[in-house]
Amino acid sequence: MKVKFEHIGEIEFDDDLILTFENGLIGFENLKKFVLIKTEEDLFYWLNSIERPEFCFPLIGIRVIDENYPFEENFEAFAVVILNKDPLKITTNLAAPIFINQDCKIGFQKILDNEKYPVDYKLFVES
């Protein structure tokens, strides 16, 4: 399958890489098919909608930030990232993780509703 994504251009990939989100994403319930892309030099993953290629969400593996984050068996937890040219302003959404099983090619998003995990958690600090 060949899809032209807005920010990374045209990409060709095998159909068996397509991830199915049965319930879509929160606020984007009609988007059900995605492809997860990460280039070697890229820090972020890109969750690209196949149905609406203009929709793309940068993600980060939550393990980078929290090793004790609530897990779902056989799923990898990702947080949606709000990018910014100023890296100290980049935030990640820990309140609504995206869980992906890359073997079964399925994913879902859920809200944790726990004060410990805000929607706008700062991704970087000065070292």
Question: What does the binding site for another protein look like in residue numbers (CB under 8 A)?
Answer: 7, 22-23, 25-28, 43-44, 46, 55-58, 64-66, 68-69, 80-88, 90, 93, 95-96, 110-111, 113, 119-127
Closer CB to another protein, residue 1 or residue 88? 88
Amino acid letter, residue 89 = K
Closer CB to another protein, residue 13 or residue 108? 108
Closer CB to another protein, residue 16 or residue 54? 54
Q: Would you give the distance in Å from CA 89 to the centre of its chain?
A: 18
Structure tokens at 125: 């600090």
Tell me the CA distances in angstroms from 57 to 21, 49, 86, 103, 114, one per residue in order: 14, 9, 18, 21, 23
Least spacing, CB of residue 18 vs another protein, in Å? 19
Closer CB to another protein, residue 15 or residue 96? 96
Rounded distance between C-alpha atoms, residue 97 and residue 63, angstroms = 12
Q: 57 pairs with which residues across the strands?
A: 47
Least spacing, CB of residue 123 vs another protein, in Å? 6
Least spacing, CB of residue 25 vs another protein, in Å? 6
Tell me the CA distances in angstroms from 116 to 65, 66, 79, one per residue in order: 13, 11, 14
